[in-house]
Each structure stands twice: as structure tokens, then as C-alpha cells.
Amino acid sequence: MGRRRRSGQRAGYGVIREVEGIPMAQPASANSAPAGTRLDRRKARTRQALIGAAIGLIAEGRGERASIQEITEAADIGFGSFYNHFDSKEQLFRTASEEALERWGQMIDRACAGLDDPAEVFATSLRISGRLGWTHPDLAGFITGAGLDLLAVPRGLAPRALRDIKSGQAAGRFAAPHPEVALSAVAGGLLGLLRVHQDDPEVIDETAVDQLAEAILRMLGVSTQDAKRIATRPLPQLEAW
């Protein structure tokens, strides 16, 4: 196993399953074929098509206003199949948000694995996510479409950022306002950045992302010099998406 490619799995799109014998965490939404029978894989494909359509519709700003018919058409599946997977639009949108954001959250976890200063983990996460407009426009579009509802999703970015803010406070690294209030300001800044980039790509470059990170660090109580230093450090390499 491992090197022998399964029939039905196309070359060039394989996902790294293990590195030197150590299994990597597999996000639930990985677009590789899941284990199980061929029927299971077909069902998973349909489910993923629905989730992808939901994410695309949120990115278009038509989020919850889309009808189930529009969703299944975008997913290119039969109308009735929707109910094999989800009980309601709300459930689909919730699931889709959680999966997309959690997948990105785990990506960030891996990118920040080498860092220990909470302020640096926080800033690095923000700087990587602020670059989504360039690196992962689809995900960026989904996030701008979701807006502050992002904060209500119990997985993905918000819980991680809140964890970092709190541990930064505990470590005396931050002297922030109320953590959830600070988190909401951070989310607002990130959303603003992604939206400006979307609407007007020329007026924003990557230094604007680092300037936002620097400003947010100052907001959280980091000194001016420290904020500048942390926000201009080299960024870790991202894995393949």
C-alpha cells in the first residue's frame, strides 16, 4: 500500500497520507477518496459536491438565501439527493463552514508548529490568513461571504485565535481588552483586508497584511517595537492545500 495507486484515483492529485511512516492528520474534507466501499466513496463525492456548492454560494454572497434547488444545481446532483445528506440548508451551511475553516485551521496549526511565543503564533496565523486572497482565493471568498458569522463557528479560525489571545494574556504577552471583544476586532480587520483585496486588488499588497498584523498586536498591548519585529519575521512555508 502507500505507493500503489488505487484504480479510480487519478495521478497528480494524490494527498500525502504519511511521511516517514508517521500518519498525518487527515482532514475530514480532504478531496481524496475516503476508505470504505465504492458506494461509500460515491456517497462522499455527492456530499462534497454539496459542501463545495454551499461554499461557492456563500462566497457569492447568496449564502442562506439560495434555494435547495439552486444548491443541488450548483453541485450538479439531483434535487432529492440533498436529503440523503442533510436535513436542511442550515445544517449544510453549518457543516460546510466548519469543514472549510477547520481544514484551514489545521493547516495553520502545522505551519505554526515550531513557534512557542503566543504573540508570534497569533501574528503568524493572522499573516498567513491575511494572504488568503492571493494563496487561496476560493477560501478567501468564502470567508468574506461569511462575515462575522465566522465567530460563531465552533471550529476553524475563531477558536484558535481566541485560544492564542487568552494564552497570550496568561503569559503576560498581551494586555488586551476583553478577549472576545478583541477577537471580534481581529476578525473585523481580517475581513476588511480580504474584502479590500477582493474589490480592489491593486491597492493592497502583502505589506498591508503585515501592517495590519502589526497594528493588531499594538491593539493587544504589544509594544511598538515588538509589534514591528514580530510582524516582519519570515513566514513559515505552507504545505500543499
Q: Taking the complex as a whole, how short is the minimal distance between the CB of residue 184 and DNA, in angstroms?
A: 30
CB atoms within 10 A of CB 182: 22
Q: Does 89 bind DNA (CB under 7 A)?
A: yes
80 binds, among DNA, a copy of itself, none (CB under 5 to 8 A by kind): DNA
3-state helix vs strand vs coil in the chain, percent to 5: 65, 0, 35
Q: Does 7 bind DNA (CB under 7 A)?
A: no
Q: Taking the complex as a whole, how short is the minimal distance between the CB of residue 83 and DNA, in angstroms?
A: 4
How far is residue 151's CA from residue 12's CA, in Å, rounded to a whole number? Answer: 36
First to last CA, the chain: 23
How far is residue 118's CA from residue 140's CA, in Å, rounded to a whole number? Answer: 24
Start-end of H helices in 60-117: 68-75, 82-85, 89-111
Q: Which is nearer to DNA, 30 or 68 (CB)?
A: 68
170 binds, among a copy of itself, DNA, none (CB under 5 to 8 A by kind): none
Any idea what DSSP says for residue 25?
Answer: P
How far is residue 22's CA from residue 70's CA, in Å, rounded to a whole number? Answer: 42
- Binder to a copy of itself among 33, 211, 235, 238 (CB under 8 A)? 211
Q: Taking the complex as a whole, how short is the minimal distance between the CB of residue 41 and DNA, in angstroms?
A: 8
Q: Does 49 bind a copy of itself (CB under 8 A)?
A: no
Q: Does 80 bind DNA (CB under 7 A)?
A: yes
Q: Which of residues 55-94 bind a copy of itself (CB under 8 A)?
A: 64-65
Q: Does 78 bind DNA (CB under 7 A)?
A: yes
